[in-house]
Amino acid sequence: MLMSYPAPARPLVAAMTEAARAASTRAISFQGAPGANSHIAARQAFRDGLPLPCFSFAEAIDAVRLGHAARALIPLENSLHGRVADIHFLLPESGLVITGEWFLPIRYSLMGVGDLADVAEAASHPQALGQCRHWLAKRGIAPVDYPDTAGAAALVAERGSPALAAIAPPGAAELYGLRTLAEGLEDAAHNTTRFVVLARVADHRPIEGPAMTTLMFEVPNVTAALYKALGGFATNGVNMTKLESYQRGGSFAATEFFADVEGAPDEPAVARALDELRFHAKWVRLLGTYAQARKRGVD
């Protein structure tokens, strides 16, 4: 997939790929070009890891499935723009398990080859564009979707047009020889992305501190189905910190849910809640239990 990247990114991608493939047990696959938020998060979360750039989320997941990387670090949701598209569909189909999480404060700069006054369009990942939509609208700059943030910076360097800029993490400007035209584009200071760590097998070492369990389930499209399915979490005092619904296919006959609950399945209260969920749901799938990187309910 090297040729999928703009030309200025290819030497960096090739060098990182070679290093990661030579020591796959240390490789951490991520989606995007060097300099992307996922690259930054991978370096922070795994200090001795070797980040392996992948053009798509599916490719990053396949790198783990095929043994080219020990783990993948994948963005799941953002505090400003919600869940990352496609991840909820890719995760259950991947066969991988969630073994950890990481939170990254997100900061964006506008970068290009000319001046701010020249910019008519800004390219970036749809998540980044959504996180900066007010800044763009105020200045009349049109958003342009691109598969990732740092890759958009490489694209701008390749095109060389003053009218096209990129929204990317600040460090991408230096990587791709661009000028920083504006900083702090994100629409709120709390802008944070939650990443999950994916691996082929679960980490069976004891979890230190509070645990989080991520699961998926489906309920039939009948009255009170979700109310009954979730009743066990309330009666057993288990805190559910996330619940999202989505439809798979076009039948609209049943709804699937993606959820996070505090605790581990071997804790009695969580075990009872999961038993009740299984009784009322069509199916339940546990995606992983791991240490909380950030205590919920605390800013």
CATH number at residue 276: 3.30.70.260
DSSP 8-state secondary structure symbol assigned to residue 14: H
**pLDDT the model gives residue 222:** 84
| Same domain for 9 and 99 | yes
Measured over the CA atoms of residue 143, residue 81, residue 84 and residue 1, the dihedral's sign is positive
| Same domain for 87 and 23 | yes
| Same domain for 27 and 98 | yes
DSSP 8-state secondary structure symbol assigned to residue 85: T
| Same domain for 89 and 10 | yes
* R_g (Cα) of the chain, nearest Å: 21
CB atoms within 10 A of CB 19: 14
| Same domain for 71 and 165 | no
Q: What DSSP line would sit under 30-59, residue for residue?
A: EESSTTSHHHHHHHHH-TT-EEEEESSHHH
Question: Does residue 205 fall inside a structural domain?
Answer: no
| Same domain for 116 and 99 | no
Which range of 22-36, 74-88, 216-230, 234-248 scores highest in mean pLDDT? It is 22-36
Question: Does residue 252 fall inside a structural domain?
Answer: yes
The structure tokens listed for 12 are 């960096």
The structure tokens listed for 52 are 């392996």
| Same domain for 114 and 77 | no
Q: Residue 173: phi, psi to the nearest 5?
A: -60, -45
pLDDT by residue (tens digit) across 53-81? 999 999 999 999 999 999 999 999 988 87
Question: Does residue 204 fall inside a structural domain?
Answer: no
pLDDT by residue (tens digit) across 112-143? 999 999 999 999 999 999 999 999 999 999 99
pLDDT by residue (tens digit) across 240-287? 999 998 777 666 666 789 999 999 999 999 999 999 999 999 999 999
| Same domain for 56 and 17 | yes
| Same domain for 145 and 95 | no
Last residue of a domain, one of 164, 199, 234: 199
Question: Does residue 285 fall inside a structural domain?
Answer: yes
What stretch of H or E contains 216?
A: strand 211-220
Question: Does residue 298 fall inside a structural domain?
Answer: no
Question: Does residue 162 fall inside a structural domain?
Answer: yes
Local confidence band at 172 (pLDDT 50, 70, 90 cut-offs):
very high
Question: Does residue 78 fall inside a structural domain?
Answer: yes
Among candidates 68, 47, 69, 52, which has minimal Cα distance to 13?
52
Give the CATH number of the domain where residue 153 resides. Answer: 3.40.190.10
| Same domain for 175 and 91 | no
Local confidence band at 299 (pLDDT 50, 70, 90 cut-offs):
low
Last residue of a domain, one of 134, 164, 199: 199
| Same domain for 8 and 100 | yes
- Only one residue has tokens 């909820």, namely 88
**pLDDT the model gives residue 196:** 96
The structure tokens listed for 110 are 């506008």
List residues with catalytic annotation.
Answer: 193, 195
Question: Does residue 206 fall inside a structural domain?
Answer: no
**2-27: average pLDDT:** 95
Coil, helix or strand for 130?
Answer: helix
| Same domain for 99 and 37 | yes
How much is the mean pLDDT over the chain? 93
- Domains of the chain: total: 3
The structure tokens listed for 109 are 């700069």
Domain that holds residue 246: 211-289
pLDDT at residue 298 is higher than 60: no
